[in-house]
Amino acid sequence: MTVDLRTHYEAPTERVVKKVLPHLEKHARAFIALAPFLVLASRGSDGHLDASPRGDAPGFVHVVDDGTLAIPDRPGNNRLDTLGNLTADPHVGMVFFVPGVNETLRVNGVARISFDPGLLEKLAFGGKLPRSALVVTVEEVYFHCGKALIRSDLWNPEKRIERNAFPSYGTIATDIRGGTPEEAAASDQRLQEGYRNRLY
């Protein structure tokens, strides 16, 4: 189905169009240095999309130069969704978040997987090297207005739910598999142990 979207939406202003840059300028570099969290989108050979959270201490994404970023791949679930996608389609989209700032930074580009020891050393934490790094060649950079975060009131601590208002990860995973409450408790225990000892 083809839809003429411009019959429903106004054209973007010149200011909105001109905010997109092909490189990282000083404000984008400063924002990335403050960002402890991003969401990275990629696409596999089957055309299916994936969005993956990435987080660490502020500045964990290394700005190599105005056109290049390096993102450490810390231990995870070993599904290799993002890395597997990049072997088929190197294009990525990223949204960077800084707690307390309603605006976000969007960066689009082309990524490759690097196992270069020198780069991994730069991305090490506590002497532990990441398994690999994503090296992103930047193609588009722009700041996104804060309307979504303002509407969601995302940074308001009073809007945080009580943790027991939603099931634990172990309970969810066990319910999906059809396990017992005892298995859920054991799964949560393993998860918490991993959070304490296997973040890096």
Between residues 18 and 106, which one has the greater pLDDT? 106
Long-range contacts of range 143-151, CB-CB < 8 Å, 24 or more positions apart? 143/19, 143/27, 143/28, 143/31, 143/103, 143/104, 143/105, 143/106, 144/95, 144/103, 144/104, 144/105, 144/106, 145/103, 146/101, 146/102, 146/103, 146/104, 149/102, 149/103, 149/104, 150/102
The pLDDT of residue 125 is above 90:
yes
- The pLDDT value given to residue 16: 86
Which pLDDT band holds residue 15 (cuts at 50, 70, 90)? confident
Give all domains of the chain, ordered by start, each with its CATH number.
14-152 (2.30.110.10), 161-197 (no CATH)
For 23, the token pair is 């490189």
**Residues 70-122: tens digit of each pLDDT:** 999 999 999 999 999 999 999 999 999 999 999 999 999 999 999 999 999 99
pTM, entire model: 0.94
pLDDT value of position 139: 98
